[in-house]
A and B are shown apart, each in its own frame.
Chain A
C-alpha cells in the first residue's frame, strides 16, 4: 500500500476549485439521501450560485428539483424578470409561496413599518410542509453573520421549523447525516464556506448571469438610517426625505422595502471585485435594515424558522 509521502505530486487546487468541489459533494449527498429536495431561490447572487452548482453536480441531467421562491410581494421588477428567465433557461419547476396572498386572505397582518421580511417565515414553513419537502437547499454563508457562523451545513429543523443552536448535530469529515424525524426537515447550505468575495470571483470565472440591480445604475433613491432606499411603490419617502437620482448598486437582494443600495460606479463584475477589495462595511450591515433590529437579529429570526 502506498503511503502519502510516496504518492505522485498533484498540483495545489485554487480556492474556488476547492470550494466548488466541496459544494458539489454536499449537493450530491443531499440529492442521493433525501426523498424530496427543493431549492430556495430568491434571484439573489448566492441562490444563483447554488443553482449553478446544482446544475454542475448532476450534469448532463436537468436540475431534478423545483425552485422555491418565497415572494414577499415587495420585489424589484428586475429580480422577478430574472427569476422567470432562469426558470426557463434551466427548464425548472417553480413553486411560489406568496406573502401577499396570506395578507389578502387575512392570515398574515402587515407590520406597522410595512416591511415583510419577518412575514416570510410563516409562508416558508407552510410551503415546505405543503409540498412535502424533506430538505431545502439555501444559499446562506457562514461569513454573513455570527449565528450563521455556527450553523451546520445540514441544519435540522423541528416540526415547528425551529433551529436549536444548543442541539446541533456534529458534522465530521465530509460524512453528512441528514436522518430526521418524519415531521422535521433539513436546510442544506452547500456554500456555507464561501465568502462574499469568493462568490463574486466565482461569478466572474463562470460568467454567471445576475439580476441587473447588482451593478451600478442610476436610480431614484432617498436616504434613510444611513442607507439609500429605492423609490418603489412599497418604499416611499417620508416628508423630510428627499428623492434624488444617484448611481447605486445592491450588495444583497431582498425585500425592496428594507434593502438598501450602496453608492457605486461598479457596473461590471470586475469592478465589483475591485470595490469589495476596499470595502469597509459588511454586506448585511450596509444594506439590510432587517439585520439592524438588534445584534441578535439573525439569531432571533433563525430560531423562528427563517432561512
Chain B
C-alpha cells in the first residue's frame, strides 16, 4: 500500500491545551526521539510539572524559540512531522493568541484538514467562532473539533453533547460541510491515538484514526497549468543529451493546479486574456514522459503549435471564465499597514504579477459574529471584501472551484512585502 501525505493545521490557544495535543500526537506517533525526550523530561522536572515522577509536560515538545520564551508568546506557525504505517502528516501548528488570523490563514491555506480545539470546561467561545470563521473562508476541506480536557469534566456525556451540537450548528451556519467532533484528553492521551476507557458512550473514531482514514480532496475541475518557466535549450542542455534531438524543443513547466491533463487534449492558452487554441503534444513528469498528469503534479508540457508563451500565461484544457480586470475578493490583511481606497498594489495570481489598484473596500467582516460592516480602511488581521482592478487580465476562478485559480497575494510595490491574502468570491452587493 502506498502511504499518502496529509497536511493538517491546528487552531486553538495554549489555554485549550493545543501544545499538549500536538505534543501528544508527536509523542504517541514516536516522532520524538530519545535525546529530545530526555530534554523534555529534564525540563518537566525542573519546572515541577505534574508532581508525579516521570510525568512529561508534552507541551514542551512544541517549546519554541528563545525569542519567544523571553516574551512569553508564540510568534509563528511551526511545522511538525509524524507518520504512522498508513500515512505521513505535515502539521502546521498555528499559534492562537497573537495574530491568530494571519497565522491561521497561513497554516490552513494548504491544509487538507484542520483541528480546532475547544476546552470542555468552557465550550464554544468567541475565539472558537473566529477560528471556524477563518477556516470556513479558506474552505479547509475537513474540520475536526477536539473537545479537550474531558477528564476535567469527568467525561460527562451530556456536557460533550451540548458542545457538539453547538459546534455543528455553527459549522452549518458557516457552510462547513464536513465536521467531526471528538471528546479527548490530550494530557492523558484519551481518544488521541488510543480509544478512551473513560468514554464508553463515545462510539466515534479517535483523532488519529479519523486523520488516517480521511481521504484528501483531489483537485478536480478544469485542468489548469500556470506556466512557471519556459524551457528552451539554446545550447545549454544537460550533459549527455543530443542537441539535434532538442533543436526545436519548447517546454512549458508548471504545476497542474486542478483536473487531469492528457496528451492529445485540446487546450487554450490564456495570455493576457486572449485565448489561443492548441493541443498537448507531450507531458513530462519528474519520473519521465507520461500520457497524463493529475492535479498537484509538477510537469512540463509541449504543444503541437509554436506559440509565444511566457511565464504568467495559463494553459487550460476546457472552459474557464473569461479573464478579468476587475473582480471582488475577500482579503485577510497580513501586514501592519492600512489599506485604503485607490491604493496602488501588485497582485500575484498563479505565476503572474500585475499592477493593481484597490477600487473599493466594500465591507469588513466582524470575525466574532460574521457581521458585515462598512469600512474606509482595512488593517492587520482584518478580513474584508474588496473590489480590485488589475492592469493585466487575470485567468481567475472562484476559490470554491480552484484553490489556485481563486487565490492571490497583494504585495507592496515599493517594499515588496506581502500585504494580504485574497480569495476570489462571486460578485455580490454588500448585505
Q: Which residues of A contact B (CB under 8 A)?
A: 1-15, 17-22, 24-25, 28-29, 31-32, 55-64, 89-91, 142-143, 146-147, 149-150, 165-166, 168-175, 177, 179-181, 192-193, 195, 197-198, 279-282, 285-286, 295-296, 299
Contact = CB atoms under 8 A, between A and B. Distances in A.
Contacts of B260: 7-8, 10
15 contacts: A3-B400, A8-B260, A15-B3, A21-B298, A58-B229, A89-B239, A146-B65, A172-B407, A172-B418, A173-B403, A175-B348, A193-B90, A282-B36, A285-B35, A286-B35
Interface in B374-419: 400-401, 403-404, 407-409, 411, 415-418
A191 to B, nearest CB: 12
Given A15-B3, A193-B90, A1 B319 contact: yes
Q: Which 4 A-B pairs have the closest CB atoms?
A: A7-B220, A179-B416, A4-B220, A24-B298
Contacts of A179: 411, 415-417
B220 A21 contact: no
Contact of A175 (B77, B81, B408): B408
B152 interface: no
Contact of B255 (A12, A31, A174): A174
Given A4-B217, A7-B221, A150-B76, A172 B109 contact: yes
Contact of A172 (B105, B220, B401): B105
Contacts of A17: 286
Given A7-B221, A60-B233, A14 B351 contact: no
Given A18-B296, A172-B109, A280-B33, A90 B238 contact: yes
Contact of A4 (B36, B65, B219): B219
Most A-side CB within 10 Å, residue of B88, B400, B421:
B88
Nearest to A7: B220
A173 B423 CA distance: 11
A2 B81 CA distance: 34
Interface stretch (B51-59, B180-188, B246-254, B267-275): B246-254
Contacts of B219: 4, 7
A21 B295 CA distance: 10
B237 A25 contact: no
B283 to A, nearest CB: 13
Interface in B266-317: 284, 286, 294-298, 300, 311
B157 interface: no
A250 B88 CA distance: 25
Contacts of A25: 228, 255, 298
Given A143-B81, A149-B80, A282 B35 contact: yes
B222 interface: yes
How many B residues are at the interface, by size bracket?
A: 35 or more
Contacts of A19: 5
Given A31-B229, A62-B237, A175-B407, 19 more contacts: A2-B222, A2-B318, A4-B220, A6-B220, A7-B259, A10-B260, A14-B3, A14-B4, A28-B228, A29-B228, A32-B228, A60-B251, A62-B239, A150-B64, A171-B106, A172-B407, A173-B421, A192-B79, A197-B83
B2 A12 contact: yes
B66 interface: yes
A165 B105 contact: no
A54 to B, nearest CB: 11
A299 B105 contact: no
Interface string B90-109: 10000000000010011001
Contacts of A146: 63-65, 78
Contact of A60 (B83, B246, B415): B246
Contacts of A5: 220
Contacts of A170: 102, 105-106, 334, 418, 421
Contact of B34 (A89, A174, A193, A281): A281
A56 B228 contact: no
A59 B64 CA distance: 40
Contact of B220 (A2, A149, A171, A286): A2
Nearest to A64: B236
A169 B229 contact: no
A174 B4 contact: no
Most B-side CB within 10 Å, residue of A15, A143, A147:
A15
A179 B409 CA distance: 12
B337 interface: no
B236 A61 contact: yes
